[in-house]
């Protein structure tokens, strides 16, 4: 492996598009492994030359289908090698890739495909094809459906769809007759052309189609190169949705810049096994992934004997206390405790999580509990918090490892300007800022003003120039006394408990705060079994009085860390898990507060009435 610090900086090498970078790798290291995909338990490898050849065949096939420069092509699929190959194939045809969450129901898919004017859509399998066929009459621009996995489709009308393999063969034939078909399209490509349309999460309304240019992507690659030290040809696991900008920045942009090996497991259900087999040197997870890992460690301890359980909990508590400070500030006693726990507890635990070789880990996409961040740092995992959004093409700020981990998002990365507006809103400017929203001039004008991106996030700026996210402007609670409260701070304090998966705080224009809480099924079932409690479903578990007592104790612990005005006075346990299909959360599992407020109005009002009566 070659150390990146010995090579010219990405910025100094000058602009290069994703497709040009792929061509460079195919020319300079053609037989080096670019991707691996697990199939029937076996990891299949793809080299940079094979990667490039496949994208060119897809591009030529799209040209043959009549896709013109700048037209839009959708992808509805879970993460797999075909996703990225198709994305680069679309771009090689000088067209625009529009990613759509595979969990999106048909009524959401019709909005996304129609608002993006997609002429072709690539579907992963029969499930996604069925969604598109269900809404086909509402998509007058849609001309072709291409399928990655055709299993179960052979009874369908063959005029309605084609396989990816058939498109590739069509492309190869096109290239025989017109060898310049793809290179001519690539020559037409302009740095300011739209490369990607990434839909916003839609937590406060319908998702908007954000346009990201090739120049935005190059800028993100260049800034990450300088901000996140790493080496070439390291392993990473791609498992978060590729239609999300964070995974694009990690598995497509950063991986292409650093010639990383992108690994695709068989499904989301095999992440634990995949991580253990790959043992990546770099890992990215949203807060929910890190919360899940924390819960796994708790379950691991709960399923062992009393002595081991006591020792594990003591070691994790020690890690949390130690990791709240940069390593350079650890006391002699803290260094000794780390040296004591590291070989026989921390190292095996990180190995169990699949992070034994991880030399840099990242979290982004939502606020994370400072205690959780501290615990992993104290175990020796260099976990940093990154802030970014769809409109910044990924990372915009980064938390340096030499600063205290106090829930801060660090400083704007080199090349990005930041300032705080009069109302506390974070404003950003730089080459990573998106072009605007497709066919939505009003929303674009509200978000981009005088070159500054209005993020919608309220921040606090510290003396050292670092920033702390207070909350989304739209989510700030103003209680009956006129006090501004941040629900995410309160919610993350509660979600630091391994027994609490979701917490939604309510209290706008009220005298106190209440909450809807969803238990973590895995950790609470393990606890319940140890207590000898009988349950049959999520509902029966949540309605058990002993489980309510457990959660009450966790809420009391959380409240002890909060100011009186921030404390949750009463809560109710949800009897079902929040669901994307029910519109309660987005595809990225962000809570849709307005929907929750309507759907659980009776339970919420009952909490305030009971509190008042008490």
- In a 10 Å sphere around its CB, with 0-12 CB exposed, 13-18 middle and 19+ buried, how is residue 273 labelled? middle
Alpha-carbon distance of 614 to 9, in angstroms, equals 64
Residues 311 and 415 in one domain: no
Domain boundary among 246, 278, 310: 278
Residues 264 and 291 in one domain: no
Alpha-carbon distance of 542 to 529, in angstroms, equals 14
Q: For residue 339, what pLDDT is reported?
A: 96
DSSP 532: T
Residues 87 and 217 in one domain: yes
Residues 524 and 425 in one domain: no
Residues 466 and 504 in one domain: no
Tokens of 609: 């009435």
- CATH code of the domain covering residue 386: 2.30.38.10
Domain containing 73 equals 4-8+16-278
Average pLDDT, 10 consecutive residues per value, the chain (614 residues): 51 89 96 94 95 98 96 96 98 97 89 94 96 94 96 90 97 95 94 96 76 97 84 90 93 94 86 90 89 86 83 92 90 95 94 93 84 92 91 91 70 90 93 96 95 92 84 83 85 90 90 94 90 92 94 95 92 89 71 82 86 46
Alpha-carbon distance of 50 to 89, in angstroms, equals 13
Residues 545 and 558 in one domain: yes
Q: For residue 130, what pLDDT is reported?
A: 95
Residues 82 and 222 in one domain: yes
Q: For residue 587, what pLDDT is reported?
A: 66
Residues 159 and 41 in one domain: yes
Alpha-carbon distance of 387 to 467, in angstroms, equals 10
Name 562's Cβ contacts closer than 8 Å, sequence gap at least 6. 490, 493
Residue-wise burial string across 444-472, b where 16 or more C-beta atoms lie within 10 A, e elsewhere: beebbeeebbbbbbbbeeeeeebbbbbbb
Q: For residue 343, what pLDDT is reported?
A: 94
Alpha-carbon distance of 359 to 493, in angstroms, equals 27
Q: For residue 614, what pLDDT is reported?
A: 43
Q: For residue 404, what pLDDT is reported?
A: 64
Alpha-carbon distance of 499 to 303, in angstroms, equals 15
Tokens of 280: 């990546």
Residue-wise burial string across 524-535, b where 16 or more C-beta atoms lie within 10 A, e elsewhere: bbbbbeeeebeb
Q: For residue 508, what pLDDT is reported?
A: 87
- CATH code of the domain covering residue 521: 3.30.300.30
Alpha-carbon distance of 198 to 277, in angstroms, equals 31
Q: For residue 13, what pLDDT is reported?
A: 80
Instruction: Give the C-alpha distances (Å, rounded to integers) separating 496 from 246, 315, 373, 551, 561.
Output: 23, 17, 10, 12, 11
For the chain, what is the domain count?
4
Residues 237 and 344 in one domain: no
Q: CA-based angle 36:37:39, to the nearest 5?
A: 140
Domain boundary among 471, 493, 515: 471
Domain boundary among 323, 346, 381: 381
Looking at the DSSP bridge assignments, the partners of residue 97 are: 73, 196
């Amino acid at each position: 492996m070659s150390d990146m610090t010995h090579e010219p900086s990405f910025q100094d090498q000058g602009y290069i598009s994703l497709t040009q970078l792929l061509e460079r790798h195919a020319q300079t290291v053609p037989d080096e492994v670019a991707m691996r995909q697990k199939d029937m338990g076996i990891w299949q490898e793809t080299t940079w030359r094979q990667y490039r050849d496949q994208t060119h065949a897809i591009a030529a096939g799209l040209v043959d289908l009549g896709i013109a420069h700048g037209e839009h092509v959708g992808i509805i699929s879970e993460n797999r090698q075909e996703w990225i190959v198709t994305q680069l194939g679309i771009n090689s045809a000088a067209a625009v890739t529009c990613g759509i969450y595979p969990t999106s129901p048909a009524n959401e898919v019709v909005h996304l495909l129609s608002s993006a004017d997609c002429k072709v859509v690539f579907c992963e399998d029969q499930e996604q094809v069925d969604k598109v066929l269900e809404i086909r009459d509402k998509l007058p621009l849609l001309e072709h459906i291409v399928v990655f996995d055709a299993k179960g489709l052979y009874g369908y009308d063959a005029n309605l769809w084609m396989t990816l393999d058939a498109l590739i063969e069509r492309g190869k034939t096109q290239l025989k007759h017109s060898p310049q078909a793809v290179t001519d399209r690539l020559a037409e490509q302009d740095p300011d052309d739209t490369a990607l349309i990434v839909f916003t999460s839609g937590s406060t309304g319908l998702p908007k189609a954000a346009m990201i240019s090739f120049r935005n992507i190059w800028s993100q690659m260049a800034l990450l190169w300088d901000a996140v030290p790493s080496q070439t040809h390291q392993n990473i696991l791609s498992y978060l949705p590729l239609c999300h900008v964070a995974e694009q920045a990690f598995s497509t942009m950063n991986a292409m810049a650093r010639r990383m090996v992108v690994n695709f497991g068989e499904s989301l259900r095999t992440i634990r096994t995949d991580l253990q087999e790959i043992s990546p040197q770099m890992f990215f997870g949203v807060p929910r992934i890190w919360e899940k890992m924390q819960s796994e460690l708790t379950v691991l301890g709960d399923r062992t004997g009393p002595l081991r359980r006591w020792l594990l909990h003591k070691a994790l508590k020690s890690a949390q206390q130690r990791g709240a400070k940069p390593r350079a500030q650890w006391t002699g006693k803290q260094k000794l405790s780390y040296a004591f726990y590291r070989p026989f507890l921390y190292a095996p635990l990180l190995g169990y999580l699949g992070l034994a070789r991880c030399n840099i880990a990242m979290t982004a996409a939502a606020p994370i509990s400072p205690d959780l961040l501290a615990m992993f740092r104290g175990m020796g995992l260099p976990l940093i918090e990154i802030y970014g959004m769809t409109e910044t093409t990924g990372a915009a700020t980064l938390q340096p490892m030499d600063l205290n981990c106090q829930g801060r998002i660090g400083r704007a990365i080199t090349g990005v300007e930041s300032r705080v507006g009069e109302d506390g809103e974070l404003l950003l400017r730089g080459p990573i800022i998106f072009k605007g929203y497709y066919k939505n001039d009003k929303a674009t004008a509200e978000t981009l003003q005088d070159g500054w991106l209005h993020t919608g996030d309220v921040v606090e700026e510290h003396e050292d120039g670092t920033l702390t996210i207070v909350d989304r402007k739209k989510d700030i609670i103003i209680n009956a006394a006129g006090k501004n409260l941040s629900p995410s701070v309160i919610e993350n304090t509660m979600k630091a408990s391994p027994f609490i998966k979701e917490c939604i705080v309510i209290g706008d224009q009220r005298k106190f705060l209440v909450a809807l809480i969803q238990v973590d099924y895995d950790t609470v079932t393990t606890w319940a079994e140890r207590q000898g409690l009988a349950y049959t479903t999520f509902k029966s578990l949540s309605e058990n009085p002993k489980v309510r007592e457990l959660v009450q104790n966790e809420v009391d612990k959380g409240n002890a860390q909060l100011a009186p005005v921030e404390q949750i006075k009463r809560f109710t346990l949800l009897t079902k898990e929040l669901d994307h299909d029910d519109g309660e959360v987005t595809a990225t599992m962000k809570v849709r507060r307005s929907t929750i407020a309507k759907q659980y109005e009776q339970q919420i009002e009952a909490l305030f009435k009971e509190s008042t009566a008490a």
